[in-house]
A and B are shown apart, each in its own frame.
Chain A
Amino acid sequence: MTERTRDRMRGSMVRVPGGTFRMGSDNHYPEESPVHTVTIGGFSISPTTVTNQQFRAFVDATEYVTVAERPLDPADFPGAPAENLVAGSLVFTMTSGPVDLRHLSRWWTWTPGACWRHPEGPGSGIEGRADHPVVQVAFEDADAYAVWAGEELPTEAEWEYAARGGLEEMAFVWGNDAVPDGTYLANFWQGDFPWRNSAADGYPGTAPVGSFAPNGHGLFDMAGNVWEWTTDWYGDHHPPDADKPCCVPTNPRGPVIEASYDPAQPQFRVPRRVIKGGSFLCADEYCQRYRPAARRPQIAYTGMSHIGFRTIVRAPTSTS
């Protein structure tokens, strides 16, 4: 199958009928609770995350410059050393041995020159990865793509509803077993994080979009491969479950921006968006987040080598 064919195939949207579902989980990390009922209107959603090829078409058409490609303004970072003010992004690097898993800086490295065209830094490129998810995109980059395409980014609730594929309160988008009958159904980390990656699922890094079986809505990679941006500001828990059917939220959009500031660093008012789905770096013993309820805060203007996005169209196109 040619790249052109693949791209067209994967660019078209899949209809997800509206409905009511149980969002979140009470059985995993605390930020995923409480489970609560949410109603979602129907929408169409891209069956895959946006690929390098699709993002390149956007950049070629608009000459858009992503956040990671822009030099930093010294006025925004008073006192910061000049060498830290160059354009760049965060790159995952395997360590040579076991490390303290509390310190993300052991495996995430600020890398000048890292951007969507050079996901692992200046020496890397996306040749041969046209059908891999675009990474190193900040929220505003993803949003700019969506605007150009006449589409939108999903809310967290829309994303999770789509990811569950019609299954109710399952741990994973395919059921409750992480690896049913030994079959890997998503691209996540096997081995010892962050230094030994056995790649038992077939992929040490990102996989081409659609490399694993789709969920019940026909959507690919709703678990693992790359985290995906949503429009919600991050709050460290979900709202309580409605006590009456009349009070079930419809199309919720998350808390206010202030809720997303990191309480551990109150001196920095850094807005953070919700990312969903987990990535090729999710390791069971460290971060089992290749699950639909899983969620993380992500600084809105920071891309990483394991974060991408997909788009939706809310205009109803379904008869249901």
Chain B
Amino acid sequence: MGTDRPYRWHGDGESPAREVELRPYRIGRCTVSNREFAAFIDATGYATEAERYGWSFVFHLFLPDDFPDTRAVAATPWWRQVFGADWAHPDGPQSDVEDRWDHPVVHTSWDDAQAYCKWAGMRLPTEAEWECAARGGLVQKRFVWGDEFSPGGQTMCNIFEGRFPVENTAEDGYVGTAPVDAFPANGFGLRNMAGNVWEWCNDWFHPTFHRSGSRTDPEGPLTGEARVMRGGSYLCHDSYCDRYRVSARSSNAPESSSGNLGFRVAGDPSAKLHEGVGSS
């Protein structure tokens, strides 16, 4: 788990590379889709935090040209605060998910993800479980499929191509999200463990806690201010954030949401295993 190689982001706590033992677990083949999340909403009447707050963060290129001015995040001005943006209106109130039922649900906070998992009898993966699953049986590779970005010229994931953040040439076929089962599976049969959408993990984020923390079924610090997210998204660009690497980490406040952040479920097996077996 983790990496000591020079491409790591030093402040993120990707290092040290370390041996971690995990008990068996299950993890979703794909991130939760809009279809699946819609069923949860229909069945429970749950209102997401973005719906309760009334807004979420939308990437500026998805807004219509005539969209009124909104607040933006100072350090990342391409993120715009959009009222009426939520999981069912991912690009703002003028949008819907009619043509995206198979795409990952986004604008779901960590708390929303927890609520979905509870309904489904599942839980979020720990960060260690997530990374072990993402590596797909490979050891200390840069990406979930190996060290080479585009083996044999094949497109392996959905990230941002072109000039970030103003022009996405979509060489991978997608400007925004891609269907949850797009692109080749990794060694464990899991889809989109790199790119497409960031994925919530259960752990509180800390840049150095894991240096001294447990190496057996680590669950992260007991408390914190932000939860771990992993995997990178369709907005990852080499010039700005190559965090679609398998060891890359990031975090966000548990109540926050954005148009490039989703989740996949995990669970404890009661018998034999299918996916996400082993240790990294």
Which A residues form the contact surface with B (CB < 8 A)?
Answer: 1, 5-6, 8-10, 12, 14-15, 17, 47, 166-171, 174-177, 180-181, 183, 185, 208, 210-214, 216-218, 220, 318-320
CB distance B42 to A211 under 8 Å? yes
Interface string of B13-39 (1 = CB under 8 A from A): 000000000000010111001111011
Q: Looking at the assembled complex, report how far the CB atom of A23 sits from the nearest CB atom of chain B, in whole angstroms.
A: 14
Q: Looking at the assembled complex, report how far the CB atom of B66 sits from the nearest CB atom of chain A, in whole angstroms.
A: 26
Q: Is B41 in the interface zone, CB < 8 Å from A?
A: yes
CB distance B102 to A320 under 8 Å? no
Closest to B38 in A: A9
Given contacts A183-B121, A211-B43, 10 further A-B contacts (CB under 8 A): A12-B35, A47-B35, A175-B121, A180-B121, A208-B42, A210-B42, A213-B120, A214-B36, A218-B180, A220-B39
3 shortest A-B CB distances, which residue pairs?
A176-B270, A213-B120, A210-B39
Q: Is B272 in the interface zone, CB < 8 Å from A?
A: yes
B218-271: which residues lie under 8 A (CB-CB) from chain A? 267, 269-271
If over half of B's interface residues share one DSSP class (helix, strand or loop), that class is named, otherwise mixed; here it is loop
Q: Looking at the assembled complex, report how far the CB atom of B216 sits from the nearest CB atom of chain A, in whole angstroms.
A: 23
Closest to A208 in B: B42
Cα–Cα distance between A295 and B95 once the two chains are bound (Å): 44
Q: Is B184 in the interface zone, CB < 8 Å from A?
A: yes
CB distance A217 to B270 under 8 Å? no
Known: A168-B272, A170-B270. A1 touches B120 (CB 8 A): no
Known: A176-B270, A319-B184. A183 touches B29 (CB 8 A): no
Cα–Cα distance between A8 and B98 once the two chains are bound (Å): 8
Cα–Cα distance between A216 and B275 once the two chains are bound (Å): 11
Q: Looking at the assembled complex, report how far the CB atom of B122 sits from the nearest CB atom of chain A, in whole angstroms.
A: 8
CB distance A166 to B43 under 8 Å? no
Q: Is B163 in the interface zone, CB < 8 Å from A?
A: no
CB distance A9 to B274 under 8 Å? no
Q: Looking at the assembled complex, report how far the CB atom of B174 sits from the nearest CB atom of chain A, in whole angstroms.
A: 14
Number of residue pairs spanning A and B whose beta carbons lie under 8 angstroms apart = 93
Q: Is B9 in the interface zone, CB < 8 Å from A?
A: no
Cα–Cα distance between A117 and B272 once the two chains are bound (Å): 43
Known: A12-B101, A175-B270. A216 touches B29 (CB 8 A): yes
Known: A9-B38, A211-B43, A319-B184. A169 touches B272 (CB 8 A): yes
Interface string of B107-147 (1 = CB under 8 A from A): 00000000000111110000000000000000000000000
CB distance A218 to B33 under 8 Å? yes
Q: Looking at the assembled complex, report how far the CB atom of B157 sits from the nearest CB atom of chain A, in whole angstroms.
A: 14
With a cutoff of 8 Å between Cβ atoms, the chain B residues found around residue A211 in the complex are 39, 42-43
CB distance A176 to B271 under 8 Å? yes
Cα–Cα distance between A220 and B77 once the two chains are bound (Å): 40
CB distance A216 to B28 under 8 Å? yes
With a cutoff of 8 Å between Cβ atoms, the chain A residues found around residue B121 in the complex are 174-175, 180-181, 183, 185, 213
Q: Looking at the assembled complex, report how far the CB atom of B229 sits from the nearest CB atom of chain A, in whole angstroms.
A: 22
With a cutoff of 8 Å between Cβ atoms, the chain A residues found around residue B34 in the complex are 9
Closest to B179 in A: A15
Q: Looking at the assembled complex, report how far the CB atom of A320 sits from the nearest CB atom of chain B, in whole angstroms.
A: 6
Closest to A213 in B: B120
CB distance A166 to B181 under 8 Å? no
Closest to B272 in A: A168
Could you list 6 examples of A-B contacts with CB < 8 Å? A9-B35, A166-B275, A167-B26, A213-B121, A214-B35, A319-B184
With a cutoff of 8 Å between Cβ atoms, the chain A residues found around residue B40 in the complex are 213
Q: Looking at the assembled complex, report how far the CB atom of A244 sits from the nearest CB atom of chain B, in whole angstroms.
A: 22
Q: Looking at the assembled complex, report how far the CB atom of B129 sits from the nearest CB atom of chain A, in whole angstroms.
A: 16
Closest to B118 in A: A183
Q: Looking at the assembled complex, report how far the CB atom of A44 sits from the nearest CB atom of chain B, in whole angstroms.
A: 11
CB distance A175 to B39 under 8 Å? no
With a cutoff of 8 Å between Cβ atoms, the chain B residues found around residue A171 in the complex are 271
B70-93: which residues lie under 8 A (CB-CB) from chain A? 88
With a cutoff of 8 Å between Cβ atoms, the chain A residues found around residue B101 in the complex are 8-9, 12
With a cutoff of 8 Å between Cβ atoms, the chain B residues found around residue A181 in the complex are 121
With a cutoff of 8 Å between Cβ atoms, the chain B residues found around residue A318 in the complex are 181
With a cutoff of 8 Å between Cβ atoms, the chain B residues found around residue A174 in the complex are 121
CB distance B102 to A14 under 8 Å? yes
Q: Is B273 in the interface zone, CB < 8 Å from A?
A: yes
Q: Looking at the assembled complex, report how far the CB atom of A37 sits from the nearest CB atom of chain B, in whole angstroms.
A: 14
Q: Is B63 in the interface zone, CB < 8 Å from A?
A: no
